[in-house]
Amino acid sequence: MTINDIKHPKIKAWVEEVVKMCQPDDVYVCDGSQAEYDRLMKKCVDSGLATPLAKKPNSFLFRSLPSDVARVENRTFISSKTQDAAGPTNNWINPDELKATMTGLYTGCMKGRTMYVIPFCMGPVGSSISKNGIELTDSEYVVLNMHIMTRVGTKVLDVLGTDGTFVPCLHSVGKPLAEGETDGGIWPCADIENKYISHFPEERLIWSYGSGYGGNALLGKKCFALRIASVIARDEGWLAEHMLILKLTNPQGEVKYITGAFPSACGKTNLAMLIPTIPGWKVETIGDDIAWMKFGKDGRLYAINPEAGFFGVAPGTSAESNKNALISAEKNTIFTNCALTEDGDVWWEQIGYPAKGKLVDWKGNTRDALPKDTSPKGEEFAHPNARFTAPAAQCPCIAPEWENPEGVPISAILFGGRRPSTVPLVHQSRNWNHGVFLGSIVGSEITAASTIDASQVGKIRRDPFAILPFCGYNMGDYFSHWIKLGAKADQDKLPKIFYVNWFRKDDDNKNLPGGFMWPGYSDNSRVLAWIFDRCNGADNAIDTPIGFMPKEGSINTDGLADHYKKTLPAITSVDKEGWLKEVKDVRENHYPKFGSHLPKELVECLDDLEKRLNS
């Protein structure tokens, strides 16, 4: 397809404007076909950017440069008209100033390259909950990943017609080519100081420059589905959240749908694809990363997964931690920054088995494999943020209704993060506002997926609602939006809210693998079962200063290892001193950041918690 085939005047005019600015050698409008995907992948293979994998049908390995391996939060901007609208947790630059800077960078930036026009839909095409976008990019890697992660092509242009609403998304790797020059098999990107991932909320506009990697470049994902969508959701009265969606079925065949918000690399994908250890229970996947939720005619909150694929963290994914993810990525998958084995497969740390012979690491160096599946820090064969991009439809536990345009009704919302102390295995909020309070104080260890500063990995930072890097406006106003939605709803039909923590540690206990006091992974089904019963009104909880917690014996421990049975009482009790420190930190260091935008309801919850702990 060509520009002249676009029937939507605004899209056509915008594309022509960008062509004039970026000066690509050619323009191609994506149709979303398999033939298109195969042709562009062959181009990447022929240029040396992609390696076919002999052991995985129609799957390929890419390697980025070390400077382009993760989201760059310090180069990500919410460029609202005022700094106050962006809030204290976002980087802000005046939109006129930022556009002037980026226009200078964009001018001529696609010389020597093709500009691809990607019509894409977040959510099932034609759904009333879905939203459409157009991404312009000079990266074949981006086109290929967008093919998997979104619904791409002519069908989206057909839905848009001549006047449909769309979010314009402009992306460039920021590396123009002189006449006759090629990338020479080297990942194209710009220097870190010239990387910009910019959002203009009032215009519903995204500009990204200089990075070809993940959330910086696949603009339908974090940029559209969270940062811009969160603003649209605020204005239209719904929720765009950094949440998994799972379907949970009990032994009697009763179904409940649960969402969960965890910071990156805290086990969202693992939980979404969990294989329960307790007999008769079943988990199926609706989505592993993003949930868009709107109230249905019956007053319940309904969620869709706006994505069509999984962009999962590879290291740590094993048959034990997430067998279904491994199966999902057995074919038709793009791998990024994984290691390459001699027989043409991918490998990463904690995959569950050692590699044999020699490996080509993520930097392209050939090294002898180690006799185990771990590596010394800084010497990993796969980058800690290495990824797999796999079609959701290939997941063996994908729910039949995962693409239901009406969404699925949510019974419970989970918050969680990596907390080695204080926060118990599970507790339930007293009411909706208390649940918003729990979401507002989420904290987690910083991971390789969320920072390029290795010195920060392992430290705790607050990540409210696990959406801190992805909220497109002032987070104080975001908290207010949740409270206002709850106040308008039928309280009996609102989801119940829980806080979970799979990561409590006791490093002095030699019987605990890794020092963890809970086995996690499939055994998290035991907590899900308790939550399921709570949603049914079961009398399986006690009232504590921090909320409702499991009664003794209410969590199924049949088949659980004895050392975890012994630690269960400690992780299902209230650490009074730890929580008082938590209250102090929230009051002195966290909540003051939001100033007058902080809802009074959350301060009331904090005061109530302190009072209960001291009584």
Residues 367-392: tens digit of each pLDDT:
999 999 999 999 999 999 999 999 99
249 Cβ neighbours under 8 A, 6+ residues apart? 255, 281, 282, 283, 284
The tokens describing 586, both together, are 């929230």
Alpha-carbon dihedral of residues 120, 126, 128, 133, nearest 10 degrees? 20
Domain made up of 3-30+67-236: CATH architecture: 3-Layer(aba) Sandwich (3.40)
* Residue-level pLDDT at 267: 85
* Residue-level pLDDT at 213: 95
* Residue-level pLDDT at 264: 74
User: Tens digit of pLDDT for each residue in 269-280?
Assistant: 999 999 999 999
pLDDT confidence of 577, banded at 50, 70, 90? very high
* Residue-level pLDDT at 263: 84
User: Tens digit of pLDDT for each residue in 451-465?
Assistant: 556 677 666 789 999
76 Cβ neighbours under 8 A, 6+ residues apart? 91, 197, 198, 199, 216, 469
How far is 389 from 218, CA to CA, in rounded Å?
Answer: 11
* Residue-level pLDDT at 1: 81
* Residue-level pLDDT at 451: 57
Residue with tokens 């590699």: 355
614 Cβ neighbours under 8 A, 6+ residues apart? 580
What integer is the mean pLDDT of 60-87? 97
* Residue-level pLDDT at 447: 58
- Cβ-contact 212, 223 below 8 angstroms: no
Check whether 449 has a pLDDT greater than 90.
no
How far is 540 from 397, CA to CA, in rounded Å?
Answer: 29
Alpha-carbon dihedral of residues 525, 528, 532, 538, nearest 10 degrees? 100
Catalytic residue among 44, 109, 266, 605: 266
Beta strand 426-428 with 346-347 is unpaired
Please determine, looking at this structure, whether the domain spanning 240-305+402-614 carries the CATH number 3.90.228.20: yes
As a whole number, the mean pLDDT across the chain is 96
What integer is the mean pLDDT of 206-229? 97
Q: Where are the domains of the chain?
A: 3-30+67-236, 240-305+402-614, 310-393
Domain made up of 310-393: CATH architecture: Beta Complex (2.170)
Check whether 149 has a pLDDT greater than 90.
yes
User: Tens digit of pLDDT for each residue in 242-261?
Assistant: 999 999 999 999 999 999 99
Q: At what angle do helices 432-440 and 475-488 cross, to 10 degrees?
A: 160
pTM over 0.85? The answer is yes
Residue with tokens 């490093």: 507
Quickly count: other Cβ atoms within 10 Å of residue 194's Cβ: 15
User: Tens digit of pLDDT for each residue in 23-56?
Assistant: 999 999 999 999 999 999 999 999 999 999 999 9
Hey, is 206 helix, strand or coil? strand
Q: Is 22 a catalytic residue?
A: no
